[in-house]
């Protein structure tokens, strides 16, 4: 049984990790495309319009890959997690169906019009199609996170005699206190990814002395969006999300922060340390006294419960994984803020485009927002364990008893091979688009 649960979780973790490489760029990039198109309408500078159409090609490629890699996850609800689907389908099916029926079709329909309908529609309607693509992509993220939020903090439900969960208050799904902070935090993470990609591509052009006009535009836009989103992902959205964890999932909060013993006179914030699960302590830690209590409760001496306060059956099942995922996310987020502050200063000094070490850094930093977003999701998922639906349905009770671990391992290996090929194809196509650069038009 343990092997079956392990492989079921590994398969879903692999497929969703690979899948989320693509939506995190499209959601943030859709906002930047709307910005480029809006700037074109205001300034009549064709460069902005060319930039919008260039990045919509990247968006379309990411969108297609997201669709292809997202479909297998839906099937896994019916194969590996059939019991979970049977018990909770009356609730999570609501938001997932809305995402598919409304958001996905809104996004995909107007994506085609933006790509191919500029001359037919005219510039204002063309801008509107880009805006609707943006609204569709963010609505899709909202509905997915509404589903996730119910699993993290279930509200508005009742349990039938047969054990199934059904909604008794539809509005509760969207007034869930977990939803808004999680959604805003996630979206700011997506904007960070798109900002670093846009700035990195611009840096690539400047360092190679090609498409220099667009290189400057992309670097400037990426840095400005990156600075704002890097700050917002930390405060208020990250702070708000962490406070929710402390309030509703205190055992997960203790695991994230590496707190084994309750700290009654004020909790320190750990900068570096390694969890020692055998002795229930952090090794080689560097910490700042009382800061965690202040950040969480605005009280320097507020007690913060440690894992010792909770029965071990309620502990996160992988405390080291949870601790490291959280600290990697926070550490990278701090680096993002620092880099974007330095780049913004150089931008205002009109020296950014000639400061090669910053351009090289922006180029090589492209993968790291993906890592930060992934570890952020790992923090949320590892923190919820051992529950599929927090405090209601354990992971062990949600698997499909008739699907063997051997079958799951076999299909997992198949996914790994298939996704490796898809990843290579994506890199090849994206590389060709970027290497070719934006197509310029003298008249519009």
- pLDDT tens track, the chain, 444 positions: 568 889 999 999 999 999 999 999 999 999 999 999 999 999 999 999 999 999 999 999 999 999 999 888 888 988 999 999 999 999 999 999 898 888 888 888 899 999 999 999 999 999 999 999 999 999 999 999 999 999 999 999 999 999 999 999 999 999 999 999 999 999 999 999 999 999 999 999 999 999 999 999 999 999 999 999 999 999 999 999 999 999 999 999 999 999 999 988 889 999 999 999 999 999 999 999 999 999 999 999 999 999 999 999 999 999 999 999 999 999 999 999 999 999 999 999 999 999 999 999 999 999 999 999 999 999 999 999 999 999 999 999 999 988 888 999 999 999 999 999 999 999 999 999 999 999 886 544
The residue written with tokens 């799951």 in the block is: 408
Beta-bridged to residue 287, according to DSSP, are 270
Q: In a 10 Å sphere around its CB, with 0-12 CB exposed, 13-18 middle and 19+ buried, how is residue 406 labelled?
A: exposed
Tokens of 9: 């979780």
pTM: 0.95
Which letter does DSSP use for residue 442 in this model? S
| CB contact set of 104 (below 8 Å; sequence gap of 6+) | 136, 140
Query: What phi, psi does 401 have (nearest 5°)?
Result: -70, -15
Q: How far apart are CA 179 and CA 444, in angstroms?
A: 42
Q: How far is CA 198 from CA 127, 178, 336, 418, in A?
A: 20, 31, 14, 28
Q: How far apart are CA 207 and CA 210, in angstroms?
A: 8
Q: How far is CA 25 from CA 21, 138, 193, 264, in A?
A: 7, 12, 6, 42
Tokens of 351: 């020296």
- What is the model's pLDDT at position 1? 57
Torsion (CA) 254, 260, 266, 269 in degrees, nearest 10: -60
Q: In a 10 Å sphere around its CB, with 0-12 CB exposed, 13-18 middle and 19+ buried, how is residue 208 labelled?
A: exposed
Element (H, E) at 159: strand 157-159
- What is the model's pLDDT at position 442? 54
Q: How far apart are CA 384 and CA 329, in angstroms?
A: 17
DSSP letter string, 96-129:
HHHIIIIIIHHHHHHHHHHHH-HHHH-HHHHHHH
Q: How far apart are CA 306 and CA 267, in angstroms?
A: 10
* Residue 132 contacts residue 102 (beta carbons within 8 Å): no
Q: In a 10 Å sphere around its CB, with 0-12 CB exposed, 13-18 middle and 19+ buried, how is residue 57 labelled?
A: middle
The gap between the terminal CA atoms of the chain, to the nearest Å, is 63
Query: What phi, psi does 394 have (nearest 5°)?
Result: -80, 155
* Residue 109 contacts residue 20 (beta carbons within 8 Å): no
Within 10 A of 160 (CB to CB), how many other CB atoms are there? 10
């Amino acid at each position: 049984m343990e092997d079956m649960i392990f492989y079921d979780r590994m398969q879903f973790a692999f497929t969703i990790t690979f899948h989320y490489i693509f939506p995190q760029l499209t959601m943030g990039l859709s906002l930047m495309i709307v910005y480029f198109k809006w700037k074109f309408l205001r300034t009549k500078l064709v460069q902005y319009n060319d930039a919008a159409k260039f990045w919509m090609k990247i968006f379309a490629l990411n969108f297609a890959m997201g669709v292809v890699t997202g479909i297998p996850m839906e099937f896994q609800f019916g194969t590996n997690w059939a019991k979970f689907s049977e018990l909770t389908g009356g609730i999570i099916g609501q938001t997932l169906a809305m995402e598919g029926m409304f958001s996905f079709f809104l996004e995909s329909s107007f994506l085609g019009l933006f790509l191919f309908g500029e001359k037919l529609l005219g510039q204002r309607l063309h801008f509107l199609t880009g805006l609707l693509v943006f609204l569709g992509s963010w609505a899709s993220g909202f509905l997915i996170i509404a589903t996730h939020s119910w699993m993290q903090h279930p509200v508005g439900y009742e349990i039938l005699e047969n054990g199934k969960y059904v909604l008794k208050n539809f509005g509760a799904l969207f007034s869930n206190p977990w939803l808004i902070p999680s959604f805003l935090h996630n979206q700011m993470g997506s904007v960070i990814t798109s900002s670093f990609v846009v700035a990195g591509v611009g840096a690539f052009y400047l360092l190679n002395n090609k498409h220099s006009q667009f290189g400057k535009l992309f670097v400037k836009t990426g840095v400005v969006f990156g600075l704002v989103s890097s700050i917002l992902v930390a405060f208020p959205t990250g702070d708000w999300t962490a406070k929710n964890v402390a309030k509703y999932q205190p055992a997960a909060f203790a695991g994230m922060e590496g707190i084994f013993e309750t700290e009654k006179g004020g909790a320190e914030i750990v900068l570096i340390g390694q969890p020692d699960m055998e002795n229930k302590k952090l090794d080689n830690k560097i910490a700042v006294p009382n800061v965690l209590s202040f950040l969480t409760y605005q009280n320097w001496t507020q007690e913060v419960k440690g894992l010792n306060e909770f029965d071990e059956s309620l502990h996160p099942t992988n405390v080291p994984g949870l601790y490291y995922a959280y600290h990697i996310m926070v550490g990278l987020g701090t680096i993002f803020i620092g880099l974007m502050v330095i780049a913004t200063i150089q931008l205002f000094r009109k020296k950014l485009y000639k400061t090669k070490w910053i351009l090289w850094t922006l180029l090589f930093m492209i993968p790291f927002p993906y890592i930060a977003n992934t570890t952020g999701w790992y923090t949320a998922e590892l923190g919820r364990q051992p529950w599929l639906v927090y405090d209601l349905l354990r992971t062990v009770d949600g698997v499909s008893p008739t699907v063997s671990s051997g079958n799951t391992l076999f299909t997992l290996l198949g996914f790994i091979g298939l996704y490796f090929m898809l990843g290579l194809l994506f890199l090849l196509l994206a590389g060709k688009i970027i290497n070719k650069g934006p197509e310029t038009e003298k008249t519009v």
